[in-house]
Amino acid sequence: GYTPSTAYIMTAFGCNYQGEVPISAVTDLVKWFKDLCADRNVEVPAICLADTVGWANPDQIRRRIDAVREIVPDARMALHLHDTRGLGAANFHAALEMGVDLFDSSVAGLGGCPFAGHGDGKAAGNVCTEDMVFMCHELGIETGIDLDKLIDAARMAEEIIGRPLAGRIMHSGGLDKYRQKSATE
């Protein structure tokens, strides 16, 4: 039979056609999914709130996570974030502080919706995996990911695409070599 897995709620924060998405629209979908799972005698495994076109800010992240947890406190929370308006890292950090540990991202910020901004194809896409991993490491969160190899992959992606990509850490590099240098001086 059919077993539900992760429920993705797309444009859970805002939509370029309809404006800001009310929390009630998100919670109504969560309640519907909870009922669907109950009908099949399974727990709600995970809810992913997607900031598909980059409307979210950290306060919205916190309020929506709280609202979802009131309905399905045992479900795993996930986020799909975009950096359309430069708040991807701040939103990621807010979610980390709320205990979220499952995120969608992409190497060098590939993908996403480049037309989410002014429609000119220049908007940033998904949050960059390497930037998120760097932040986790800086916060003392172990990821099991080799950041240097991930940065190499991001640089390779940029070379293949043939234009500058959004990742910040791939352009600036990590801090380890500077820390090692200052430790030996």
Domains of the chain, earliest start first: 6-184 (3.20.20.70)
Give residue 122's pLDDT.
67
- Helix ranges restricted to H, 43-87: 58-71
Query: Could you say which residues of the chain have pLDDT below 50?
Result: none
pLDDT at 141: 97
Contact predicate 94/79, CB 8 Å: no
Query: Closest Cα to residue 134, out of 121, 146, 120?
Result: 146
Provide the pLDDT for residue 82: 93
| pTM, full prediction | 0.90
- Classify residue 127 by its DSSP letter: P
Q: Nearest to residue 102, comparing CAs of 49, 148, 169, 147?
A: 49
Q: Which residues are known catalytic residues?
A: 113
Model pLDDT, residue 1: 60
